[in-house]
Structure 1
Amino acid sequence: MEGRNSTHNQPASVNIVNGTYPQLITFLVLNVVPSHSALPLLVFLVLSRKIQRHATFVNLMLVFIIVGISSSVLLYAGKHEGPEPSKLLCLLQASLLYGVPAISSMAALMLVLQMFLVIRESFYGRTYMERDHVFRSWIMVMAPYVAWLISVVATAAVGSASPGNVSRNRRFFYCSVKSDPLTDTITTVAAFILFATITFEAATVVLFYKRWVQVQQGSSSKAIDLNLPIRILSFGLYLVIAMSMSLLSIKTPQSPAPDLIIASASMVVVLIFGTQRDILRALCFWRTQDRQDPHVSLNDTESIGSVTKG
């Protein structure tokens, strides 16, 4: 335990998460498998132009690769179990992971926002042209990393000032920094981002409903393909629930369930977005390409492709 490894002038940490070794392995597998294999493959498919997606979609994949790598730092060093890792290594992982709520929630918000903007333009009969919004796209891509960097630097500063509050045993699965002001700030910022995500998801659902009413009344002949939008909405809702549990665990962290649920986010990303028809078609390169579904055009402004195309 950390208390046996602490110096006399450092407060002993208390293990507040009641985790087991099988749960630790589960935590690592959930982080390592998708972030080191499936997600890089999805990014490769997009960057190789086999499929078309908006930059915010690619960004979400990259963000969860970063999350998986950050969660695996102790595994790389062989310090995921046994004696406490060095304070420097522990602070490194804690700093990276304390930025996870900001970077992951912000990346999800930017993807949901992009979907809302495209669908809103389509709803009002306007064509969304990405080349007209280059500056905005760059801001949407960079925002998650700016939020992450701020969180990382803040955590590193707080942990460096009080190295006795940095430990692995306290959170069991990963290193953490014991600081109420820091965790309160992270919780508040992430909660604000999640609220914004829910707001844009609700606005998108309203637009879907209005278009459905128009189609039913015959005032519009163009239906919206709900394939990808539903996937994005589903993931946004999942992330809000998972992050809410994770943020709640900061205050009442005895159960390992919140950490395991948020660790599954990368796998959920793969299952939701990696099973789209065009991605599966690109993965099965040895098969004869299926004829394009005439009802799902990647160039139609109201199709699955418009939400994610750049």
Structure 2
Amino acid sequence: MEPLSSLSTSGAESLSSVHMGLSRMFQRAVEGSTDKESDLNRRLVLVWIALQLAGQIALPILIATMVFHKRVARRNPTIINFCVVWTFATIPPEMLFYAGKYLAPAQPGKMLCLLQAATMSGIPPMAAVAYLSVVVHACTVVYELNQDVTVRPFTLNLRMIVLLASPYIAFLSFSIYIAFFGANFPTDIKLDEFFCVVAGHNLSTPVFVFTIGVVLFTLIAQAWIIFTCYQNRSKGSRSRRSFGRSLSSFDMQFVFRMLGFTVFEIVLVVACVASILKPQLTFAKLLLATPPFAVFLVFATSQDILCAWFPWCLRIDSASIIRSKSVLQISRSERTAMTFSRDQPTIKSRVDSAFSQYSQWSQAPMLGGSTRVVSDLEKGIERPPDAHIHLSRDFRVESVETSMQVHSYSSQQNPMDTMRSFKSTRYSRKKPPPI
């Protein structure tokens, strides 16, 4: 019996040793997988931060170029405000990075986490409304040109103030809404994979419903702009053809560029919904860090912006430099017509003189007021409704209430008859201020 008992004891010991060995191997495998998962999460967080920082650095450079560069067409305030909104939108996702709490095992405080969760919830509505403001301004300009509507300066100013302030109102509304619930339920504030959120209570549902509604309305407005431009270009009247020609390459490229961004925005909304329904979809969350740099690419690929940054690489003709104001970038009070000097001996000197006059003209106020003079010949002279500056027989720059374009025509054609065939802009009869 003793050998049998000793055999059973040794067998039990061997089984226990095997069990301990297997448990240790399993524990090491789990620890290894956990380390790999944490390393992957760390890399994804760094990619998230890098994408946000790329837009945070690039957008201020673009804004400074559009505002201060002399050879860049002056953009409408709604476009600049759209870039400012997306620059501001890069700050809340980077709050943990600025505080040094963006990598485990560091944990942010409750107040910092609540602040980030509230501001992150206000970014989608703010960005959607800012983009809608750009499209609404384009719609109003196209409508006024199409229907020949005269708008008072007070109405223009009030409309612009509403368009510029509405994104920030949407941001504050939804941020306060999330902050209120987060303060009442502090236990629901937690750190997600990339940023803090207020879990539960279906708080994100109103945010995304509002954002999706604004994006769909923006898409409908853009479709109306494209349809109106196409309809006016298809009609046979001369004024309609002038309207369509002024909405040619530069304007339509801008419209289609913004339409592409609208599709990208819809993809972002879908990614947001997917990240909420399935939190394990990390790629959908990474898409939320790409819009700031995408906005930079949309506006930085304009020809005048690229030529301002790379003057030694890109050569554009003189017509492209002067034809820089589009129907989406100007207000009604800025639409004017002017022509070049015939006395210049060469094409280059005529273009340089024209660009100098255009630079002075582009300093006119964006909203309301009387249109400023474009050359020394107009100082102290009241402009009648049909007044134009005719100085050239070979080249003329026209802005048939829309954009400035350079056209050449035969010397046998009477330039004054050609100018009279276009619809004149209604100028203020008041004496214009000095340049």
Q: TM-score range by the shorter chain?
A: 0.7 to 0.9
What is the DSSP-based 3-state SS (H/G/I as helix, E as strand, rest coil) of the residue aligned with 1:85? Answer: coil
Structure 1 distance, partners of 2:87, 2:202, is: 28
1:28 aligns with 2:54: no
Instruction: Return closer, same or farther for 1:219/1:134 CA change in 2, 3 Å cut-off.
Output: closer
Structure 2 distance, partners of 1:214, 1:109, is: 29
Instruction: Report the alpha carbon displacement of residue 62 of structure 1 after superposing the two structures with TM.
Output: 0.9
Instruction: Report the alpha carbon displacement of residue 236 of structure 1 after superposing the two structures with TM.
Output: 2.1
Instruction: Report the alpha carbon displacement of residue 248 of structure 1 after superposing the two structures with TM.
Output: 4.1
Instruction: Report the alpha carbon displacement of residue 257 of structure 1 after superposing the two structures with TM.
Output: 2.1
Instruction: Return closer, same or farther for 1:288/1:227 CA change in 2, 3 Å cut-off.
Output: closer
Contact kept in structure 2, 1:115 and 1:307, CA below 8 Å: no
Question: For residue 102 of structure 1, what is the amino acid of its counterpart?
Answer: P
Q: Alpha-carbon deviations, 1:155-207, whole Å to 9, x = none?
A: 11111111111111xx3011111133321111221122112112212212221
Match of 1:56 among 78, 92, 97: 78
Instruction: Report the alpha carbon displacement of residue 287 of structure 1 after superposing the two structures with TM.
Output: 7.9
Structure 1 distance, partners of 2:237, 2:276, is: 47
- Listed as ranges, the gaps of 5+ residues in structure 2 are 1-39, 335-365, 367-435
Which stretch shows the higher mean deviation, 58-67 or 219-228? 219-228
Instruction: Return closer, same or farther for 1:180/1:190 CA change in 2, 3 Å cut-off.
Output: farther
Instruction: Return closer, same or farther for 1:295/1:88 CA change in 2, 3 Å cut-off.
Output: closer
How many residues in Structure 1 have an aligned counterpart in Structure 2?
287
Which residue is equivalent to 2:253? Answer: 227
Which residue is equivalent to 2:99? Answer: 77
Which residue is equivalent to 1:9? Answer: none
Contact kept in structure 2, 1:298 and 1:306, CA below 8 Å: no
Instruction: Return closer, same or farther for 1:116/1:218 CA change in 2, 3 Å cut-off.
Output: closer
Instruction: Return closer, same or farther for 1:287/1:125 CA change in 2, 3 Å cut-off.
Output: farther
1:106 aligns with 2:129: yes
Cα RMSD after superposing both structures: 2.9
Instruction: Return closer, same or farther for 1:290/1:80 CA change in 2, 3 Å cut-off.
Output: same
Which stretch shows the higher mean deviation, 122-131 or 106-115? 122-131
Which residue is equivalent to 2:378? Answer: none
Question: For residue 253 of structure 1, what is the amino acid of its counterpart?
Answer: P
TM-score, reference length from structure 1? 0.82
TM-score, reference length from structure 2? 0.60
Instruction: Return closer, same or farther for 1:307/1:213 CA change in 2, 3 Å cut-off.
Output: farther
Instruction: Report the alpha carbon displacement of residue 79 of structure 1 after superposing the two structures with TM.
Output: 0.9
Instruction: Return closer, same or farther for 1:26/1:294 CA change in 2, 3 Å cut-off.
Output: closer
Contact kept in structure 1, 2:118 and 2:175, CA below 8 Å: yes
Match of 1:185 among 183, 201, 206: 206
What is the DSSP-based 3-state SS (H/G/I as helix, E as strand, rest coil) of the residue aligned with 2:114? Answer: helix
Structure 2 distance, partners of 1:194, 1:77, is: 33
Question: For residue 124 of structure 2, what is the amino acid of its counterpart?
Answer: P
Instruction: Report the alpha carbon displacement of residue 296 of structure 1 after superposing the two structures with TM.
Output: 7.0
Larger radius of gyration: 2
Question: For residue 179 of structure 1, what is the amino acid of its counterpart?
Answer: G
Which residue is equivalent to 2:282? Answer: 256
1:45 aligns with 2:68: no
Which residue is equivalent to 1:67? Answer: 89
Structure 2 distance, partners of 1:230, 1:149, is: 31
Question: For residue 63 of structure 2, what is the amino acid of its counterpart?
Answer: V
What is the DSSP-based 3-state SS (H/G/I as helix, E as strand, rest coil) of the residue aligned with 1:20? Answer: helix
Q: Alpha-carbon deviations, 1:31-68, whole Å to 9, x = none?
A: 11111x21001111233253311111111111111111
1:202 aligns with 2:223: yes
1:282 aligns with 2:308: yes
Instruction: Return closer, same or farther for 1:126/1:284 CA change in 2, 3 Å cut-off.
Output: farther
Identity of aligned residues (%): 23
1:245 aligns with 2:264: no
Structure 2 distance, partners of 1:296, 1:246, is: 42
Which residue is equivalent to 1:4? Answer: none
Which residue is equivalent to 1:137? Answer: 160
Instruction: Return closer, same or farther for 1:24/1:124 CA change in 2, 3 Å cut-off.
Output: same
- Show the 5 A alignment for 1:111-126: 111-125=134-148
Instruction: Return closer, same or farther for 1:305/1:257 CA change in 2, 3 Å cut-off.
Output: same
Structure 1 distance, partners of 2:158, 2:165, is: 11
Match of 2:318 among 276, 287, 292: 292
Structure 2 distance, partners of 1:270, 1:173, is: 23
What is the DSSP-based 3-state SS (H/G/I as helix, E as strand, rest coil) of the residue aligned with 1:293? Answer: helix
Structure 1 distance, partners of 2:132, 2:222, is: 9
Instruction: Return closer, same or farther for 1:128/1:253 CA change in 2, 3 Å cut-off.
Output: farther
Structure 2 distance, partners of 1:117, 1:264, is: 30
Question: For residue 22 of structure 1, what is the amino acid of its counterpart?
Answer: R
Instruction: Report the alpha carbon displacement of residue 25 of structure 1 after superposing the two structures with TM.
Output: 1.6
Instruction: Report the alpha carbon displacement of residue 130 of structure 1 after superposing the two structures with TM.
Output: 7.4
Instruction: Report the alpha carbon displacement of residue 250 of structure 1 after superposing the two structures with TM.
Output: 2.4
- Listed as ranges, the gaps of 5+ residues in structure 1 are 1-18
1:173 aligns with 2:194: yes
Contact kept in structure 2, 1:31 and 1:263, CA below 8 Å: yes
